[in-house]
Amino acid sequence: MKDAESAPHESWAEVYDIAYEEAFGTFYTDLSKRTIEIITNNFTNGIKIIDYGAGTGRLSIPLTELGFNVTAVEPSASMIKKLLEKSEALSIQTVNAKMEDVDIHEEFDLALCVFTVLLYLLDENTLHKSFTAVYNSLKQDAFLILDIPTKDLFQGYSFSNNMINRTVNIKEMGDDLYEYKEDLTVFRQNQTSKNYSDTFSIKYWSAEKVLSVLENIGFVVVEDLSIHFLGSGSKYFLLQKQEVKETNDRL
């Protein structure tokens, strides 16, 4: 198990954006645009959004610029540092924690947990704890946008251009657990190139399993948004927080 200092992404946070922007090009920027469009089409700006696994602010930053009140939750301190460097003039609140450790009650109108954050939850107890924390952080009837990666995403790839050389290897370890290995070289003009590497575990979760855990916690699926994210390798869902009914034996 990794400690906080060696949390996934910690060692290459400073070049995370370059790695994704170069390796996925316009597909990556289009994906961000589509996600933001879904949010602006369905929610009024000014509402309070909590972005779980916010990374370097791919969504937190533009949403704040559009007038949403955003809190970014992220366990990697280096990813948060990068997010804050990129958004100095904005007032983005940050919480340096894993989603399962967040203890906020009925504060937010919308939670985001997108772009494969789910894969970092490695067992059912953590899955349950994480989405109970999400549920608790939302106001009654508030919403959650979640992506559930399909098996298509569990494939390595290599990409090279004049900016980066990136290789991702994904090795099956059994029980739907995989080892993710990132090897990245970034070439800088007039500077020597720099190498980065990172290895961590990820887990495949079926949509049926995740949605049944979420329904038990008290979410209902309002809309399958996957049609808007074709080619992303993930299913996307809009869920809503419902009041949990007291069962007879608790009355």
Contact residues: ligand SAM, CB under 6 A:
8-9, 52-55, 58-59, 73-76, 79, 98-99, 114-117, 120-121
Q: Compute the least distance from the CB of residue 137 to ligand SAM, in Å.
A: 12
Gap between the Cα atoms of 240 and 111, Å rounded:
10
| Minimum gap (Å) between residue 19 Cβ and ligand SAM | 10
3-state secondary structure of 182: strand
Cβ atoms of 14 and 56 closer than 8 Å: no
With residue 93 as reference, give the H or E element that holds it. Answer: strand 93-95
Question: Which of residues 229 and 242 has its CB atom nearest to ligand SAM in the complex?
Answer: 229
Instruction: Kindly tell me which of 117 and 211 has the beta carbon lying closer to ligand SAM.
Output: 117
Instruction: Name the nearest CA neighbour of 200 among 175, 169, 166.
Output: 169
Those residues whose C-beta lies under 8 Å from the C-beta of residue 139, and which sit 6 or more positions away, are 106, 107, 108, 109, 241
Calculate the alpha carbon distances from 92 to 25, 51, 73, 107, 138 in Å.
Answer: 26, 11, 10, 15, 18
Nearer to ligand SAM by Cβ, of 47 and 78: the residue is: 78
Q: What is the smallest separation between the CB atom of 15 and ligand SAM, expressed in angstroms?
A: 13
Total number of residues shown for the chain: 251
Question: Minimum CB separation from ligand SAM for residue 45, in Å?
Answer: 19
Q: Which is nearer to ligand SAM, 125 or 193 (CB)?
A: 125
Between 66 and 243, CB nearer to ligand SAM: 66
Cα angle for residues 61, 67, 68 (degrees, 5° grid) = 70
Tell me the closest approach of the beta carbon of residue 246 to ligand SAM, in angstroms: 30
In the complex with ligand SAM, the residue whose CB is nearer, 115 or 135, is 115
Q: How far is the CB of 92 from ligand SAM (least distance, A)?
A: 13
- The residue sitting closest to ligand SAM, measured at its beta carbon, is 55
